[in-house]
Amino acid sequence: MISSSTPSGYALVTGASSGIGAAIAREYARRGVPLILTARRLDKLEQLANELRPQVSVIVIPADLGDPSAPASLVAEIERRSLPVRILVNNAGYGVPGRYTTRDWPVHAQFLQVMIGAVSELTWRLLPAIRESGQGRILNVASFAALVPGADGQTLYAAAKSYLVRFSESLSLENADRGVHVTALCPGFTWSEFHDVTGTREMVSKLPKWAWLETDAVALAGIEGAEKGRVIVVPGRVYQLAHSIARHLPQRWVLRAMGRNSGRIRRID
C-alpha cells in the first residue's frame, strides 16, 4: 500500500542488482511503489524484478553508468516508454582499492563518471519532472566516509561521497519549495558485495559484528529519512555516535587515528 506521503509514479534505482540498491528496491516494492531498475548486470536485475513483480510493476533497463553516454540514453528510454519518475535513487557505486597513483587514470576517470558524473546528470535530467510532481524524492547513497576525514587508500571514494552530501544539501535547499525531499544516506560498513569487489573482504571481516549494518536496515533508514525530509541520514546508533564525536574532536586527532587504522581495513598498496 502506497503511503499518502509517497509520490505517485516510478522509483528509479541505479545499481539495483545487489546490496543496498536491491534492498531499497525491495522496500519500495513493499510500499507499493512501481520500480525502474538499472545496473550493468541484466541477469541480476531480472532475478530481482521477478521477485518483486508480484508486488508492483517493475521495469528493467540495463545501463553501464561508467559510459558517459549512459545517463542520457537511460532517460531517453524512460521518456520513450512514458514512465513518470517521481523518486530517484542514486545508488550505483563501487570502490577503487589502493593509493591514488597505483591505478591508471582511466580507472579513476570511470570511477568519477559513475560516482559523480552520472549522479549529477541523471539528477539534472529528471529533476524538472520530479519538481513538477510537487512531491518528489531524491535519495543519494553516500557513505559514513563522507562525514569524517579521508583515509589512506580512499582518495577518491571519500571525496566522491562527500560530493554527494554537499550536492544533496544544496539540492534540498533549492527544491524544498516544490515539495522535493533530497536526502544523503551515509551508512557505515554494510553487508554486501562491495568488499568482495574491492578485494578487502578478508580484511574487513576482522571488524567486530557491532560495526556492521544490514542492507535492509540501511534501506529502511534512507527511505524513511527521505519521507521525513531529512537531508543527512546516518543509519545505526554506533555510527551516529561516531559522527557526533568526530565533529567535536580536533581534525588532526581524527586524521591521526585514520592514518593508524587505514591499513587494517583497506588496501593501500
CA distance linking residue 1 with residue 28, whole number of Å? 10
Verify whether residue 28 is a known catalytic residue: no
Q: Is the CB of residue 43 less than 8 Å from the CB of residue 119?
A: no
**Beta strand spans in the chain (E):** 10-14, 35-38, 58-60, 85-90, 137-141, 181-185, 232-233
Which triple of cell numbers denotes residue 60?
528493467
DSSP-derived 3-state class of residue 188: coil
Q: List, in sequence order, every residue forming a beta bridge with 45; answer none if it has no partner.
A: none
Q: For residue 25, give the amino acid letter.
A: A
Helix axes 105-112, 155-175, angle to 10 degrees: 20
Cβ neighbours of residue 99 closer than 8 Å, sequence gap 6 or more = 152, 153, 155, 268, 269
Residue entry with cell 554494510: 190
Catalytic site residue from 28, 157, 163, 239: 157
By annotation, the residues acting in catalysis are 157
